[in-house]
Amino acid sequence: MTESEKERTMLSIQDLYSFNEDQEISLNGEALDKLGGVKGVADMLRTDVDIGLPFDEAIIEERRKFYGSNTLPVPAPKSWMELFLDSFQDTTLIVLIVAALVSLVIGILEDPRKGWIEGAAILAAVIIVAAVTATNNYSKEAQFRKLNAVKDDIHVSVIRGGNVISLNIKELVAGDIVRMNAGDKVPTDGLLVDGSDVACNESALTGEPDEKSKTNKSILDGGDPFMLSGSTISSGFGRMIVTAVGAQSRWGRTKAKLASKTEDTPLQEKLDTLAGQIGKGGMSVAGATFIAIILLWLLHPESRHPDQMFFDVVLKAFILAVTIVVVAVPEGLPLAVTLSLAYSTQKMMLDNNLIRVLAACETMGNATNICSDKTGTLTQNRMTVVEGWIAGKHYRKAPTPTDMSPSLIEILANGISINTTAALLAPDSEGAKPEVMGNKTEGALLLMLLENFGVDYVTRRAEGFKAKRGDKLFTFSSARKRMTVLQKLEKDCRVYSKGAAEVMVSICTRYITSSGQIVPFDDATRANVSKVISEMASNSLRALALTHRDIPHSMIDNDPETIESEMILDAVFGIKDPLRPDVPDAVRICQEAGIFVRMVTGDNIETAKAIAKECGIFTEGGIAMEGPAFRKLTPAALDEILPKLQVLARSSPDDKHTLVSRLNGFMLPKNEEEWLVAHSGCNYAKEKELLLPGYLQEWEASRKDGSGEVVGVTGDGTNDGPALKAADVGLSMGLSGTDVAKEASDIVILDDNFSSIVKAVMWGRSVFDNIRKFLQFQLTVNVVALTLTFMSAFTGYEPPLNAVMMLWVNLIMDTMGALALGTEPPSRVLLKRRPYKRNASLISNVMWRHIIVQSLYQIFLLTYLLMVGAKDFDIAEGSTTHFTIVFNTFVFCQIFNEFNARSISNEMNVFKGLDRNPVFIGIAIFTIIGQYVLVEYGGEFVKTVGLTHSQWLMSFLLGALSLPLGGLMRLIPVTENENDFAPVSELIKMAAPKDHTRGKEEKQSNDVFSFMVWLSVCAIIPVAAWVSFGDKWMAHLEGVN
């Protein structure tokens, strides 16, 4: 075909757009009919709907160039220079710049040679602060853009070259044939080629909540073949042909008009409030300092410098006051949260946790309950048929053709092949097993069919299910616990149905014998089957029953329940899903961390209890309950058993939602109107205390402090969406989860593994602790800097720290401190403590001890240096050298206090785990180098002079005394407030005994070296300080006496 012929037969983008106008269903239908309907569009897109596009990269690339790629244009991020300029919008920096400019002008006028230095130094310091802020913001934005790119990494099932393959949605092109099931998100605009019971929720695009039924019929014939990108498949399965991708699609057009907004997390909001309070305190000190300097100048004329004018004093006092505000306003607090969250979310990706909502990262750290699915989360989701009941006989291994008649094999082969939406992908290497795409339980049956019977399911499915002739598929639902396909044959209809064994057995009236005969399902056989199902369940097997029946054409339009009655039992298969090997240990770790783990599953209660016991969830004294019994409970009765409810089996998504709502109080009806929406036709006054999930006022009254549990919930199905939304943290499954579940969740567990959830808890606790470490460090610096500056101004002394010095301290305190302490990696020790309550104070008693002791030491030390330090250092009092030593000692106090701040508990060894945090070590080294440069080469710019080796050593030792003081300080008996911790169930305490031996071995192997280093340093520093200052201190004491 020539290029001109291609252009005549290929549809243009305008042709495709003609039937894809927003909210113009009738016009779209007319335009589609003009092009020959779905078949006409497929022909003109040169796509075979059964084979798909060919495996030819050149053809795919040609289509991508012609129709566009399935990617959306990303707005260009702000450049570093734009962020740098944005930094100057901060009010305090603007005031400081104005003051610096005034100082610069006046200084030049008064002393052209040196008068410009102070103003220029302040401007230079402001520029450095702005540059660091811009760099931090640029880095933060880059990290989150990277995370957002991972969120869009979605794969779909596509037919190319006649094979089913998994393809990233970004690789889709116009003409591709995409296979979709209930729960999938439609990745592009398209037309439904064929399917069964397909319905879409298009509310994200149209705002209409009603589900839209989809068929491949014309609009004029009452059909609706239009599949819209961004909508979700709420039921059924089908295949569609891609017609519009990327920016050309409906979702692409909508998304282009949207701007993503980053909201503060709860911790950020709490810290913003605290920062505001600290800032107000700083402004008060700044105002008091300004007034004190002015009053001292006015009231003590004898102390004035002869050349000093009143305006000079006012300007100097104003600059100092503004600098105090800059130092006092702890902009480092929100920065520390942002940095810690950005760092943690990036690292959590390596632990298979994709954070969709930032708040979830910190919330997960204080989770008190985890409601976990069984399949794929606690188990490996590697389903294998290991037992079977067939024709009245129980086989202890997977059945083979020798175990049954040809007619029964035919029925089973058709039932398994046709009544499924799963597929087997060809193995990557010779000898490997095919990979299952879709439901793993269905995949186990397909693998048994392939490996034990040599049956090609693909051919049977293609020939056995034809939507065009009227075949129907009733997809699996948690309510019905089964999945059914109806074949419309010439004489009658054949129905194949499979589902939970006990449910399927209850609707069977006959069964098939080994010879292929259909006989009545007598009581003895029914009892035998029930016994086999119980045995399978007690052996942790999932029991799945296959049935069939024939019905007349007149019953085709009956409801599924009628069609699925009086079935013939073909077989019951026991499917093994091995427990993940690391799950028992992960569950035990959660219990040690004070987290109540519950299993919520749709499986038989015996299967659920067996698996729960195996992994340590179901323990002595615990309660296991089935969904039907759970639903009959009153709110008060449920509250009574909640502390012991460990397993909820045969549960529906509504049961899971009810359980979560009762635990945390979210989504409970707040008034009569909301209650009646949930309980239509019921009497609010009479039944509000009797029906689950209860109502908010009653729930709050039943809780001591009016607050509930912090709940993490796993979910993988479309119907799990409400429970995931109701949870404090919704955890969807990356491998088995539907797009609807992922959209409703806060964290995506990429490997579906419960152990990854434990890592999410550990990282969440790490974020919370890192913020507290930074807060402990910053408040100490704040208290000392503000107290020292105010006291010196009030007593008439020249403030020891000028504006440039204060800005350097601010840089150390805010940005450097946030980087050093906000990026501390987590350790398993975090999982040895209980979760904190929602309203727990950010500053604990232990932290207050640190802040008070270290602040008092630093204030005492710096007062000593100001009052008598000049004599001890043998320098002139009030000289530049004197103030340089005070400044130098103050900075070293902060460097060593930063090490102390790494511990917010009674842990003395502040060097513990230091080898795992190169950022902290790098920041400490950078700060020391920066301090050296500032002191030795700052000159008139910073108002410092170079120090001798002896002076460096002595100021270093005085600052380093913070370290041994930190050890002594922790001997003061202070503990955290018990009311800050969430209560722990007695059931958990019994289930998870502490493994003290393992902790000791771990400490001996990992912590002894760092402890010995810390101990040695703490011993050497006081000795070295005494050698340098002992005689001088003793002389001062004798002088006092």
Q: Looking at 45-54, 253-262, 306-315, 991-1000, which range is the least confident one? A: 991-1000
Return the higher-pLDDT residue of 715 and 738: 715
Mean pLDDT (whole number) for 732-757: 84
The answer, yes or no, to whether residue 652 has pLDDT greater than 70, is: yes
Residue among 857, 830, 879, 885 nearest 966 (CA):
857
Q: What is the pLDDT of residues 825-859, one digit of tens each?
A: 898 889 988 999 887 888 899 999 999 999 999 99
Closest Cα to residue 865, out of 791, 948, 925, 930?
A: 791
Residue where the block lists tokens 């005031």: 95
Q: Tell me the average pLDDT of the chain.
A: 84
Q: Give Cα separations from 701 to 197, 698, 761 (angstroms).
A: 45, 5, 29
Q: What is the distance between the alpha carbons of residues 355 and 747, in angstroms, rounded to a whole number?
A: 5
Mean pLDDT, to the nearest integer, of 525-541? 92
Region 803-823: mean pLDDT is 77
- Enumerate helices (H) and strands (E) in the chain, giving the number of each: 43, 26
389 pairs with which residues across the strands? 394, 572
Q: What is the pLDDT of residue 256?
A: 60
Confidence of residue 995 (pLDDT cuts 50, 70, 90): very low
Looking at mean pLDDT, say which of 339-343, 449-453, 946-950 comes out highest.
Answer: 946-950
Query: 726 — phi, psi (to 5°)?
Result: -70, -25
pLDDT-based confidence at residue 145 (cuts at 50, 70, 90)? low
Average pLDDT over residues 743-757: 88
Residue 197 — very low, low, confident or very high, per pLDDT cuts 50/70/90? confident
**Amino acid identity, position 696:** L
Instruction: Supply the pLDDT for residue 939.
Output: 86
> Which pLDDT score is estimated for 255?
66
Determine the average pLDDT of the residues in 666-684. 89
pLDDT confidence of residue 388: 94
Confidence of residue 3 (pLDDT cuts 50, 70, 90): very low
Dist. CA 897–CA 782, nearest whole Å = 13
Compute the average pLDDT of residues 12-27: 83
* Whether residue 475 has pLDDT greater than 90: no
Query: Residues 409, 419: contact at Cβ < 8 Å?
Result: no
Task: Tell me the percentage of the chain whose pLDDT exceeds 90.
Answer: 41
DSSP H or E stretch at residue 979: none
Least confident span in 337-341, 435-439, 635-639: 337-341
SS3 labels along 162-177: CEEEEEEHHHCCCCCE
- What share of the chain in percent tops pLDDT 70? 86
On the question of pLDDT at 254 being above 80, the answer is no
DSSP 585-608: HHHHHHHHTT-EEEEE-SS-HHHH
pLDDT bin (cut points 50, 70, 90) of residue 226 is very high
pLDDT band with cut points at 50, 70 and 90 for residue 151: low
Looking at residue 259, its pLDDT comes to: 42
pLDDT of residue 5: 38
The band of 105, judged by pLDDT with boundaries at 50, 70 and 90, is confident
Measured CA angle at 1002 (ends 996, 1006), to 5 deg? 150
Calculate mean pLDDT across residues 461-473. 87
Q: Which of these, 607, 573, 531, 538, lies nearest to 397 by C-alpha position?
A: 573
Residue 59 corresponds to which tokens in the numbers above? 């053809």
pLDDT of residue 563: 93
Does 1005 score more than 50 pLDDT? no
pLDDT for the residue 174: 93
Query: Which three-class secondary structure state does DSSP give residue 440?
Result: helix
pLDDT one-digit tens code per residue, 555-601: 998 888 899 999 999 999 999 988 888 899 999 999 999 999 999 98
CA 996 to chain centre: 31
- pLDDT(104) > 70: yes
pLDDT tens-digit map of 404-439 = 888 899 999 999 999 988 888 877 667 677 888 878
* 3-state SS, residue 681: coil
Q: Residue 189 pairs with which residues in a beta bridge?
A: 244
Model confidence at 75, pLDDT cuts 50, 70, 90, reads: low
At residue 272, the pLDDT reads 65
107-111, 239-243, 499-503, 800-804: the lowest-pLDDT one? 107-111
Per-residue model confidence (pLDDT) at position 1002? 42
Query: How far are the Cα atoms of 645, 667, 699, 709 from residue 661, in angstroms, in the given order?
Result: 15, 6, 10, 10
State the pLDDT at residue 6: 43
Whether the predicted pLDDT of 451 surpasses 50: yes
The span from the CA of 798 to the CA of 452, in Å, is 92
Q: Phi and psi (nearest 5°) for 836?
A: -85, 155
Tens digit of pLDDT for each residue in 889-935?
A: 999 999 999 999 999 999 999 999 898 899 999 999 999 999 999 99
Q: What is the pLDDT of residue 771?
A: 86
- Which residue is listed with tokens 């004329």? 301
pLDDT at 118 over 70: no
Instruction: Find where tokens 């566009």 sit.
Output: 68
Q: Where residue 2 falls among pLDDT bands split at 50, 70, 90?
A: very low
Q: In the predicted model, is pLDDT for residue 262 greater than 50?
A: no
> What's the average model confidence in pLDDT over 504-515?
92
Q: Which residues are catalytic?
A: 373
Instruction: Give the confidence band of 403 by pLDDT, cuts at 50, 70, 90.
Output: confident
The least confident of 167-171, 205-209, 339-343, 510-514 is 205-209
